[in-house]
Amino acid sequence: MNKRQRKILILCSPLLLLAVAFLVLAILTLSVNPVTPHRGVLTDEDYRHVEQLIVDNSPERFQQQDERQLSLDAQQLNLLSAFALSNVPQLQNLALSFNIDGDQATALMSIPQTLGPLTLYLNLEAQFAQDQGRARLIELRAGRLFIPRFVMRSAERIAGYRLDTASVASQELAAARHSVLTYRLGENQLHLTMAWQADVLSQLRSQAQQIFVSPEDQQRIRAYHQLIAAIAIDANEVRRQVPLQNFLPELFELANQRSLLPGGDAIAENRALLQTLSFFVNNLPIRQLIGENRDTESTGEALPAIPSMVVMLHQRNDLALHFVSAAAIAASAGVTMAEVLSNSKEVYDARYGTGFSFSDMTANAAGVALGEYSTSSQYSALQIQRLLMQTEMETAYMPIPLTDADGLDEASFIEKFGTRDSTQYLQRLREINEAVQALQLYNPALHTESLATE
């Protein structure tokens, strides 16, 4: 070997070592098969089970500060995990499963990795067991590679620190994490003790939407808040109960104008409009949506105050609340999340509140449809704007609900409909959805016919 060859070898050695290390790491951690299969698309029955789990594990009154015991078996954990993963676009390809045996548990996760034409899987296996009175992670493997315990503990501390010191929205998630007081494995279940605090739950409700609010969205929200304030101030001089119809045409006209500007984004405009309108209808401070004290940072001046008033839809405030809230959640967090949260609320009301209401379910369905079609594509978003800025009737966006089965407590609901898997109940839901989809606003084919006649 001559001198030049030795110099080339010396220069290339670090790269060769790095390549060999990467190859060894890939061999140890990646596999051609997942260690746990993907659950696939959740069924309607799965979603109803998720809704029932939410209700069954909810305290009777969310406002009281108390400790709550939750016990979940492996099947329930697997269902909740699948639901959570399916609602985060970046995590929808992941597969996660749990198995609990007495006071020990195993969690398996398969993460697909695309390498050219190949799909390989990073398979993680975590072992949990009771240790000093609580469930602890005792072993973690990535494929055939054992992860040392000190690395696991360091990762836990770093993740917790970053969550605690991150954005305002992430800090609220950290608050929820700290509300879990104990984890315990036993009797083939995971037992949680949670501290239910009214202020944390209230903050999470608003911060759930803030996670999706970008700096550009904050400016959009300011514009819609200012218009809502102007309409509300004028209406407040006459009456405190104001129809939702007073707001929608002007708001969507503004959205259309902003969308048609150079670089305009109709989807983003509609999402910000619905989020802002939801906070107004629910009488929540707008600073919770754009961030604490952010209402004065961008322009140096405070947002206009909006007088307190009751917004009505079909002469009912509860319908306006359900309709606008469902639309905002569907636009910001997705249709599935909006449907599960809305349906859970009705089941909860049947057990603890004012009773199950198909009127509210109609408002939920119409709101979800509005949120979906307002943000599904730029074309659909623009059509929704054009139709709503011209409409003069509330029945254009929500059918008049039937009230023959409203206010049902849990016992009355069971007597009339049985379970939520019964033929009678599912038929009633189909009728509601058919009534909503029959509206021109939520029927793309009718959009085309409407535009063709203009």
pLDDT for the residue numbered 157 = 60
Single-letter residue type at 37: P
315 in any annotated domain? yes
Write out the residue range of the structural domain in which residue 187 sits: 44-201
33 in any annotated domain? no
H/E stretch holding 66 reads strand 66-73
27 in any annotated domain? no
pLDDT for the residue numbered 280 = 92
- Given a contact cutoff of 8 angstroms between Cβ atoms, the answer to whether 332 and 275 are in contact is yes
**Residue listed under structure tokens 């966006």:** 397
pLDDT for the residue numbered 243 = 94
- Give the CA dihedral 223, 443, 84, 418, nearest 10 degrees: 120
317 in any annotated domain? yes
Judge if 280 and 326 occupy the same domain.
yes
Cα distances from 351 to residues 308, 364, 444, in angstroms, run 30, 19, 38
**Chosen domain end from 150, 167, 201:** 201
**Chosen domain end from 154, 179, 201:** 201
21 in any annotated domain? no
- Kindly give the residue spans of alpha helices, DSSP state H, lying in 241-291: 248-259, 266-281, 287-290
Judge if 313 and 443 occupy the same domain.
yes
Tokens found for residue 262: 């150079």
pLDDT for the residue numbered 202 = 44
Judge if 193 and 279 occupy the same domain.
no
Judge if 301 and 216 occupy the same domain.
yes
79 in any annotated domain? yes
In degrees, rounded to 5, the angle at the alpha carbon of residue 106 between the alpha carbons of residues 105 and 108 is 155
Judge if 242 and 101 occupy the same domain.
no
Q: What is the pTM of this model?
A: 0.70
Count the domains in the chain: 2
**Residue listed under structure tokens 């079609």:** 373
Judge if 372 and 399 occupy the same domain.
yes
pLDDT for the residue numbered 420 = 81
Q: Each residue's pLDDT tens digit in the chain (454 positions)?
A: 555 555 555 555 555 555 555 555 556 677 888 889 888 888 878 888 887 777 676 665 444 556 677 788 999 888 888 887 776 666 778 889 999 998 889 999 888 888 778 888 888 888 888 887 788 888 888 888 887 776 666 655 655 544 444 444 444 444 455 566 777 888 888 888 776 654 444 444 444 444 456 778 888 999 999 999 999 988 876 678 899 999 999 999 999 999 999 999 999 999 999 999 998 998 888 877 776 544 444 444 578 888 888 999 999 999 999 999 899 888 887 777 777 777 777 766 666 667 888 899 999 999 999 999 999 999 999 999 999 999 999 999 999 998 887 888 888 888 888 888 889 888 998 999 999 999 989 987 665 544 434 4
pLDDT for the residue numbered 200 = 46
Distance of CA 284 to the CA centre of its chain: 19
**Chosen domain end from 201, 232, 263:** 201
Judge if 193 and 305 occupy the same domain.
no
Judge if 271 and 375 occupy the same domain.
yes
Judge if 160 and 277 occupy the same domain.
no
Judge if 52 and 169 occupy the same domain.
yes
The DSSP string of 95-137 is EEEEEEETTEEEEEEEEEEEETTEEEEEEEEEEEEEETTEEEE
pLDDT for the residue numbered 171 = 44
Residue 322: name the closest of 305, 298, 339, 301 by CA. 339
The neighbouring-strand residues paired with 379 are: none
Single-letter residue type at 397: Y
3-state helix, strand, coil in the chain (%, to 5): 55, 20, 25
29 in any annotated domain? no
Judge if 308 and 174 occupy the same domain.
no
Residue 102: name the closest of 67, 130, 140 by CA. 130
352 in any annotated domain? yes
Judge if 429 and 308 occupy the same domain.
yes
Coil/strand/helix, residue 167: coil
What's 42-93 look like in SS3? CCHHHHHHHHHHHHHCCCCCCCCCEEEEEEEEHHHHHHHHHHHHHCCHHHCC
